[in-house]
Amino acid sequence: MMRTRPLKVALLGCGVVGSEVTRIMTTHADDLAARIGAPVEIAGIAVRRPGRVRAGVPEELITTDATALVKRGDIDVVIEVIGGIEPARSLITTAFEHGASVVSANKALLAQDGAALHAAAEKHGRDLYYEAAVAGAIPLVRPLRESLAGDKVNRVLGIVNGTTNFILDKMDTSGAGYSEALDEATALGYAEADPTADVEGFDAAAKAAILAGIAFHTRVRLDDVYREGMTEVTAADFASAKQMGCTIKLLAICERAADGQSVTARVHPAMIPLSHPLASVREAYNAVFVEAEAAGRLMFYGPGAGGSPTASAVLGDLVAVCRNKLAQSTGPGESAYTRLPVSPMGEVVTRYHISLDVADKPGVLAQVATVFAAHGVSIDTVRQTGKDGEASLVVVTHRAADAALSATVEALRKLDTVRGVASIMRVEGE
């Protein structure tokens, strides 16, 4: 039984994602109607620069007054694909106040203000869905929030930024340095003119905050996520990684502490074994490992960005939110009942790979080993090489608290026999 009065959608933003959402909603209108149980139509599209609207987007729907659009009162669902904090936050809040549910692709906003937005949605009895905010088309928010709702997730480990994965993959396969690989990514459209958000890990950190919150049923904000970018990864690091049977990926890692009483979330480059499924994630693809108590190890893989994949995620949410609207119900809201605190990076248990330039004389290794022991850090392997009067030591540790590892490195820097710390990288995925 199909309702004939269409559900009305307001689209905020009409860039790459918004215009693809518009295109699919137009060309696949019959399918969407059949799946929702009612036709769905775009009632208005808010843009900043109407002159730049793309081909195929109906001109009569365009407005520059986004606030008036969300205040119309007859809008069932607002799709927000503007990005950034403001005006997106105010528009979403206004949308809830005026009776609309919201589908958003805005990772930065959700990582910063997710709790407040969820509260606003709940107050007004509306839905807030955001599958597109994490890893593009890859179903990840819904599986974590719904499929694993009866399980206990202990770890989420993933490649959630396509730009940096493209750059690291180039460095790995071609031996290129960071700048060269970045230039190629920019030329091919994988990196933006200002790549800061990607290469410094801000984008991945926002996604880590969202994933950790959902996975552990608690609140994790962007500020809670430890973040290191990948701009300092060198060709020499890749060479070291290869010697260990590893490659280097920028990982988002969300973990429940061993005692279950806290969680951690972090983003940093790390060495992972070539045998790990994440090691073979190439180009701009994303992939996320989820480890749950009953389910075991699951992996989700796919395109993490781009207009069409992101539109796919947005429209999946649109169908769900429209169905909820017709059923006069809402989907699952925020689940943050565990109130687990987020521990600082120092408490994360991990492993380090450390390259030291050292004096080529007897006793250096003993000195270095003493420093590790003094900080309670156990050494897994040491490789010592000497050439041209210089020597280098590559140390890989066993698992230890990051604070202890970090203090060890500081103490090593102060040794006379240590001329420099060539690189430090965490080792994950074992």
Where b means 16+ CB within 10 Å and e means fewer, 188-216 reads eebbeeebebbbbbbbbbbbbbbbbbbbb
Q: Nearest distance from residue 88's CB to a copy of itself, in Å? A: 21
Nearer to a copy of itself, 34 or 85 (CB): 34
Provide, rounded to whole angstroms, the least separation between the CB of residue 29 and a copy of itself. Answer: 11
Shortest CB 256 distance to a copy of itself, Å: 13
- Between 131 and 237, CB nearer to a copy of itself: 131
Positions in 158-187 near a copy of itself (CB under 8 A): none
Q: How far is the CB of 113 from a copy of itself (least distance, A)?
A: 23
Shortest Cβ distance from residue 394 to a copy of itself (Å)?
Answer: 29
**CB closer to a copy of itself, 53 vs 141:** 141
List CB contacts of 306: < 8 A, sequence separation 6 or more: 16, 136
131 is an interface residue for a copy of itself by CB under 8 A? yes
Among 95, 241, 315, 356, binds a copy of itself (CB under 8 A): 315
Q: How far is CA 344 from the centre of its chain?
A: 19
Among the listed residues 357, 341, 361, the one whose alpha carbon sits nearest the alpha carbon of residue 412: 357
Q: Which is nearer to a copy of itself, 63 or 335 (CB)?
A: 335
Which of 4, 51, 259, 328 is in the footprint of a copy of itself by CB under 8 A? 328
Query: Is residue 257 close enough to count as binding a copy of itself by CB under 8 A?
Result: no
Measuring CA to CA, which residue among 306, 304, 290, 237 is closest to residue 268?
A: 237
239 phi and psi, to 5 degrees? -65, -45
* Residue whose token pair is 């990948």: 230
Q: Residue type for 219, please?
A: R
Among 26, 308, 343, 367, binds a copy of itself (CB under 8 A): 308
Q: Please, which residue, 140 or 348, has the CB nearer to a copy of itself? A: 140
> Does 300 help bind a copy of itself (rule: CB under 8 A)?
yes
371 to 430, contacts with a copy of itself by CB under 8 A?
none
Closest CB 349 distance from a copy of itself, rounded Å = 24
**In this chain, which of 108, 320, 368, 412 binds a copy of itself, going by CB under 8 A?**
320
Cα separation, 407 vs 392, whole angstroms:
20
150 is an interface residue for a copy of itself by CB under 8 A: yes
Rounded to a whole number of angstroms, the minimum distance from the CB of residue 152 to a copy of itself is 7
Over its C-alpha atoms, the chain yields an Rg (Å, rounded) of 24
Q: Does 216 bind a copy of itself (CB under 8 A)?
A: no
Among 22, 101, 161, 312, binds a copy of itself (CB under 8 A): 312
Q: Hey, which residues between 5 and 64 contact a copy of itself (CB under 8 A)?
A: 20, 24, 28, 31-32, 34-35
Nearer to a copy of itself, 114 or 162 (CB): 162
How big is the site for a copy of itself, counted in residues (CB under 8 A)? 58
The correct pick among 16, 119, 298, 407 for binding a copy of itself (CB under 8 A) is 298
Among 57, 278, 313, 405, binds a copy of itself (CB under 8 A): 313
**What residues are annotated to the active site?**
207
What is the nearest approach in angstroms of a copy of itself to the Cβ of residue 216? 11
State the residues that interact with a copy of itself by CB under 8 A: 20, 24, 28, 31-32, 34-35, 131, 137-139, 142-143, 146-152, 217, 277, 280, 292-303, 306, 308-309, 311-320, 323-324, 327-330, 332, 335, 337-338
